[in-house]
Structure 1
Amino acid sequence: MKILLLSLVLVAVCDAQLPLLNDLAQLTGQWQTMYMAASNFEKLRENSPFRGYMRRIDVDVPRRRILFDFFVKQNGECQEKSITGTIGLNELIRVDYEGTNDFQVVRITPNVMLGYDINMDEGGRTTDLVLLAGRTNQVNEEDVEKFKELVRQRNIPEENILKLVGTDDCPTN
């Protein structure tokens, strides 16, 4: 009887997480970085590792993995990056890139993804970052306002917002 009860609880927990992972599956496809903000603006300056130009996200639901393809610029040269993250509880995505990152998607629509990242670098310094990415290079005012609202919630000064729309000249693949 205990085994049957334990099995039912396990099935209920797995079923409860499946819709969450299916939400993330909507991320699969082409993306472009629109806006970013960081509590430590040095992480977004030119030649910094987080001033990234998103290209593609692939979500592997069965393996609970997510792949991010993007470019960063170092001394004016576009460098392609590909990093894999692990999808944990509550859709928290753990990625090793320039330290440890815990990325949380806050909003997904067919055309927009809004999320935040908490980066702990090798020196133990924590930086909050907020990202607004889109399927095209156009973004509406409502999405920008939701981005700014999340920036405020993460206690990032508005002067630390970086508009990347129109600045991406890296290859489109």
Structure 2
Amino acid sequence: MEKRNLIEAVFESTLWNSRIIVILAVIFGMFGAIALFAVASYDVWNMVVVTYKFFFAHYHPQNFHSMLIGGLIGAVDLYLIAVVMLLFSFGLYELFISKIDDAEGSETGSKILAIHSLDELKDKLGKVVVMVLIVSFFKKVIHMNFSTPLEMLYLAGSILALALALYYMHKGAH
């Protein structure tokens, strides 16, 4: 085996260690996830407070149910995006920096962090992003008014398309 020259050794070492720059994406991904969890929790808390006030004031606005459901679905949407950020941070860390030792002995960690390639990370992120899109879709649908049978048919078709997408997404996982 021939020896590497000094320039090659220094260059390859620098190139390999440059992967540590990914730590910025990991750290700020975690900050983003924490911010999203905080905002979503604040939204849920506001919905609880509003519900409490309306319940004890015996006041029931006409659009109260849609307002409550819309707010809660919006919070679920934010929680799912926060999970995307967490998966992104965990996956990048495991792929580029190091295995997470605390996750190795954990049952939950071994399932969540089973990421061995960028394709697996993209697959996990893609599934959560599809769920975010589905939740966003239903949040929009709640506030829509359907006035014609054709609009109802479009709604039924879009729900069927979402159901098929979920079916094939989960079928491919097994």
Q: Taking structure 1 as the reference length, what is the TM-score of the superposition?
A: 0.30
| Structure with higher strand content | 1
Q: Which has the higher helix share?
A: 2
> Quick one: higher RCO (CA 8 Å, sep 6+), 1 or 2?
2
Task: State the TM-score, normalizing by the size of structure 2.
Answer: 0.30
Task: Name which one, 1 or 2, has greater alpha-carbon Rg.
Answer: 2
